[in-house]
Amino acid sequence: MVRWLIVLSSIVIGGCADLSAVQEFAATSAQSAEYERLLDQYVDTPLREKRFQPADQQARLDEIVCARTVQRDRLLLRQELIVEYMKAIGELAADDAVEFDRGIGKIEDAVVGNGLAGDRDADAFSAVSKLLSRVVADAWRKGKLKALVTESNAPFQDVVGALRTIVGRDFTADIENEKQAMIGYYETLIRESRDSAGIAALREWEEERLSEADARARADSCYAGILGKIASGHQRLYDGRDDLGSKELVRQLKLYSTDIQGLVKAIRND
């Protein structure tokens, strides 16, 4: 009797459970994980800062721009992997065949040893991309969703966590450096000016530039929040993998989806 209950439970979980909340969370996450605009702003920060720095700082900032161009490609690959993975979650939940860009598997070497990822991050990236390739090659369907979530959770958390750390730490520090350079530049001009109209114009320009920088900082903070919600939602999927259709899991996934949508709206407003 117990054996038949276990079999029946497996059938419900793998084939008959309503996984629409999983599909919604996966789709919302996939649509929200990739923001090239924020990466471009990060790459361009040293260029903007050059306008406010003295001549002896220009060469240093040029070097940073070159390094950022390489970093952008690697950060974009992380975004793309998260997007492809969440799409796979949604496709399995819908019992559709997973479509995965196998070309992304070729970029594993580009991640290993770069300045933004330690060995753990590179290994995690490789593990997730290889798993997705297997999902496609073996034609996984809805009944394998639990297996995907179980096997991928640890490396997926590392991949998302690494990107979130970079956004929350490096992007934020960059903008703060830019703001300090702005303040120093404009305050020096204001101190040296004897023209009241010119001082008023400088104050206005300073406020406008700082407001733009603050908007970029808010967008970066929201994006870091999105990544955090994706990671937490996936962890909840992992914790509830034995009953993916449970009412409590459905409730929590819907909350994550709503939170992510709110953060996306805030980014667009900025």
Tell me if residue 256 falls in helix, strand or coil: helix
> pTM value?
0.86
Q: How far apart are CA 59 and CA 188, in angstroms?
A: 22
pLDDT at 109: 52
pLDDT at 125: 86
pLDDT at 123: 82
Q: Which residues contact 79 (CB under 8 A, 6 or more apart)?
A: 33, 34, 35, 36, 39, 163
Q: Mapped to the 3 state alphabet, what secondary structure does 4-64 carry?
A: HHHHHHHHHHHHHCCCHHHHHHHHHHHHHCCCHHHHHHHHHHHHHHHCCCCHHHHHHHHHH
Per-residue pLDDT in tens (0 to 9) along the chain, 270 residues: 434 333 334 434 444 578 999 999 999 999 998 888 999 999 999 999 999 999 999 999 999 989 888 888 888 888 989 999 999 999 999 888 787 665 555 555 555 444 444 556 778 888 898 888 888 878 888 889 999 999 999 999 999 999 999 999 999 999 999 999 999 999 999 999 999 999 999 999 999 999 999 999 999 999 999 999 999 999 999 999 999 989 999 999 999 999 999 999 999 887
Contact 142, 92 (CB under 8 A): yes
Locate the domains of the chain by residue range: 19-269
